[in-house]
Amino acid sequence: MTKMRAVDAAVLILEKEGATQLFGLPGAAINPFYSAMRKHGGIKHVLARHVEAASHMAEGYTRARAGNIGVCIGTSGPAGTDMVTGLYAASADSIPTLCITGQAPVSKLHKEDFQAVDIAAIARPLTKMAVTVMEPAQVPGTFQKAFWLMREGRPGPVLIDVPIDVQQAEIDFDIDTYEPLHVARPAATRAQAEKALAMMAAAERPLIVSGGGVVNADAADLLVELAELTGVPVVPTLMGWGTIPDDHPLNAGMVGLQTSHRYGNATMLASDFVLGIGNRWANRHTGSVETYTAGRTFVHVDIEPTQIGRVFAPDYSIVSDARAALEAMVEVAREQASGSTASSTAGSTDLAADRAAWAEECAERKRTLQRKTHFDDIPIKPQRVYEEMNLAFGTDTRYVTTIGLSQIQAAQLLHVYKPRHWINAGQAGPLGWTLPAALGVATADPDSQVVALSGDYDFQFLIEELAVGAQFNIPYVHVVVNNSYLGLIRQAQRGFEMDYCVQLAFDNVNSPEVAGYGVDHVKVAEGLGCKAIRVTDPADLRAAFEKAKALMAEYRVPVVVEVILERVTNVSMGVEIDSVVEFEELAERGEHAPTALVPLD
């Protein structure tokens, strides 16, 4: 055993657990931890400008690669309370992140000491564990348990709060014999896999719904193989987008009230069976349960037992890690495809039944129910922006976004080809999330092409974090679609016959070139050390995106492309999947489609 400070043990555990990238801000109550990072040298650190931003950076970092765990660190008091939104976002989307806060000395916790707040009590509803460590000898075990909890079952965040005297106390610890705790995951049995596939085989128009659990389990390859073996089309959820490439013949499009495709909703309504894997039946995906489930049989696979039946009761359920379930189903499907299926108490299954007619029916909807994107209007219509993004950014692009009309329409019109290439704060949707999350993604994968997408309001929330990208040479492209409006709220206010407190426009006395739009995002970005381009004509979009990629490569800093949009655009959405309101006509055959992947001629 070796004598060392508790913070030295904590830092060594971070290294042993593979969590070597931190995002945060130092402060008096966390300085001992920073001294341990400096002493041991195995930890990289990005200095954020705001602790909420640091928590979103950690989440983006986690989500970029399988096995990553991003760490956010801050001092006592407001640093912890600033992390709460990040904890909520990570918890809602089942993302493991570790938040570490400093704290006043143990003897002062009940005396309203400066910046002493019970952050563990505040954070507990949003985490898998939130604890203030009161005994120095408990620091190693607490960190060990934290990593186990973040990885076990449904993933999620943890907060560890460490009083400054606990950090500095000496303990006995041996890092050489430390080992991470074993993570056991529930796995579908052979019988369960056979039963689920038998139910699928009995259906005439089956679908597979692929959720974020497939991404978390790193199981997209198996998901695609199952679809191909069975001939069953796949509907990815917003969190599962990329688990089957958009250009795959069995990709049936997304379903929902907002982030959906016309053909995806039509196919769901035409189906008679749904196998959901690693999804949670989110309300923006389903609309009302009555409409979504009518006439359909459901099988639900989820790693968390209490998720089963939470939204509606499936006809059959399996508690299993998504990868384990898909491994079992693929094994059965392979045997059935080769004619070597063993007998089973679950009954015989026949997945050799021809699904070609159903798959072709789904593909025909995909060919004919495209939304129009090719507009030459000035000011620019947002649909044209996404059309040009599809053409300018390749299949390896990682898109990052959060909420608003920009996110909704991007999900309707952009294309994603790989898991972890659509990184979206799905349930929480906090404004300001996009920019720091993109920095986290680009930190995790510095050689990839990361493209963030924001409306002007989301962009302004944590715009100061552009300086982080400039300081630490974290390059990515940030497309800002600027209508100087709270566009999603304005559209929602139509039901109240008002347009109230949602306009961001003003005459900027320093920037007449953005007259009527207010903030000069180009000047702000340049002042924070980044490069920026403004586009006002749709004919210039492609060249602007190409220039942004070149500037990013040359200067290794964030590059902002601000697109001046028409002030008011109503985006397709509704209150039920069978009654989404469309505000633009269908794409015409022969014009530019949203992508060359789905030819309209």
HEC readout, 46-109: EECCCHHHHHHHHHHHHHHCCCCCEEEEECCCHHHHHCHHHHHHHHHCCCCEEEEEEECCHHHC
As given in the structure block, the two tokens for residue 200 are 């699928």
Handedness of CA 507, 511, 512, 515 (dihedral sign): negative
As given in the structure block, the two tokens for residue 90 are 């990570």
Rounded average pLDDT over 561-567: 92
87 pLDDT higher than 50: yes
Judge contact between 363 and 370, C-beta under 8 A: no
Number of Cβ within 10 Å of residue 124's Cβ equals 15
Confidence of residue 515 (pLDDT cuts 50, 70, 90): confident
pLDDT at 334: 93
pLDDT at 588: 58
Digit-coded pLDDT (tens) for 127-139: 999 999 999 999 9
Three-state helix/strand/coil letters over 24-52: ECCCHHHHHHHHHHHHHCCCEEEECCCHH
Detail the DSSP E strand segments found in 86-184.
Answer: 97-103, 129-132, 158-163, 170-173
489 pLDDT higher than 90: no
Judge contact between 316 and 196, C-beta under 8 A: yes
pLDDT at 592: 41
Judge contact between 133 and 164, C-beta under 8 A: no
Digit-coded pLDDT (tens) for 156-202: 999 999 999 999 999 999 999 999 999 999 999 999 999 999 999 99
Largest distance between two CA atoms of the chain? 78
594 pLDDT higher than 50: no
Q: Which residue has the tokens 């890092």?
A: 175
Q: How many alpha carbons lie under 13 Å from residue 272 in its C-beta half-sphere?
A: 8
Q: Among residues 92, 34, 23, which one has the least CA distance to residue 61?
A: 23
Confidence of residue 427 (pLDDT cuts 50, 70, 90): confident
Q: Among residues 247, 190, 518, which one has the least CA distance to residue 366?
A: 247
Q: How far is 457 from 518, CA to CA, in rounded Å?
A: 11
DSSP output for 268-279: HHH-SEEEEES-
**Of residues 576 and 594, more confidently modeled:** 576
As given in the structure block, the two tokens for residue 548 are 């942004």
Partnered with residue 273 across adjacent β-strands are 206, 297
As given in the structure block, the two tokens for residue 61 are 């970092």
Rounded average pLDDT over 426-438: 91
pLDDT at 601: 31
Three-state DSSP at 450 gives strand
DSSP output for 544-575: HHHHHHHHHHHH-S-EEEEEEB-S--PPPB-S
Digit-coded pLDDT (tens) for 470-482: 999 999 999 999 9
Q: Are strands 2-5 and 70-74 parallel, antiparallel or unpaired?
A: unpaired
As given in the structure block, the two tokens for residue 147 are 């990593």
As given in the structure block, the two tokens for residue 225 are 């193989």
pLDDT at 37: 94
Digit-coded pLDDT (tens) for 356-409: 999 999 999 999 999 989 999 999 999 999 999 999 998 999 999 998 888 999
DSSP output for 305-333: GGGTTSSS--SEEEE--HHHHHHHHHHHH
What letter would DSSP give residue 350? -
Q: How far is 187 from 166, CA to CA, in rounded Å?
A: 40
Q: How far is 134 from 222, CA to CA, in rounded Å?
A: 45
Judge contact between 286 and 577, C-beta under 8 A: yes
pTM score: 0.92
Number of Cβ within 10 Å of residue 357's Cβ equals 10
Equal fold, 2-177 vs 382-564: yes
Q: Report the amino acid identity of residue 182.
A: H
* Domain map (residue ranges) of the chain: 2-177, 190-368, 382-564
Q: How far is 497 from 297, CA to CA, in rounded Å?
A: 40
As given in the structure block, the two tokens for residue 345 are 């108490």
Confidence of residue 490 (pLDDT cuts 50, 70, 90): confident
Task: For Cα atoms 591, 592, 596, give the angle at the middle one, nearest 5 degrees.
Answer: 125
Domain 190-368 has CATH 3.40.50.1220: yes
Partnered with residue 319 across adjacent β-strands are 302
Three-state DSSP at 425 gives coil
Q: How far is 451 from 441, CA to CA, in rounded Å?
A: 10
User: What average pLDDT does the chain have?
Assistant: 91
pLDDT at 342: 55
Q: How far is 102 from 33, CA to CA, in rounded Å?
A: 8
Rounded average pLDDT over 33-37: 96
Sheet holding 206-210, edge to edge: 234-236, 206-210, 273-277, 297-302, 316-319
DSSP output for 230-257: HT--EEE-TTTTTSS-TTSTTB----SS
496 pLDDT higher than 90: no
Task: Assign residue 415 a region (left: φ > 0; alpha: ψ between -120 and 50; beta: otherwise).
Answer: beta
Query: For 2-177, CATH number?
Result: 3.40.50.970
| Annotation: CATH topology of 382-564 | Rossmann fold (3.40.50)
Sheet holding 97-103, edge to edge: 44-47, 21-24, 70-74, 97-103, 158-163, 129-132
pLDDT at 343: 44
Digit-coded pLDDT (tens) for 516-534: 888 899 999 999 999 999 9
3-state helix, strand, coil in the chain (%, to 5): 40, 15, 40
Handedness of CA 151, 152, 153, 156 (dihedral sign): negative
Task: For Cα atoms 192, 290, 207, give the angle at the middle one, nearest 5 degrees.
Answer: 40
424 pLDDT higher than 60: yes
Contacts of 138 (CB under 8 A, 6+ apart): none
As given in the structure block, the two tokens for residue 425 are 């704060």
- Alpha-helical runs (H) found in 339-462: 356-368, 382-392, 405-413, 434-444, 456-461
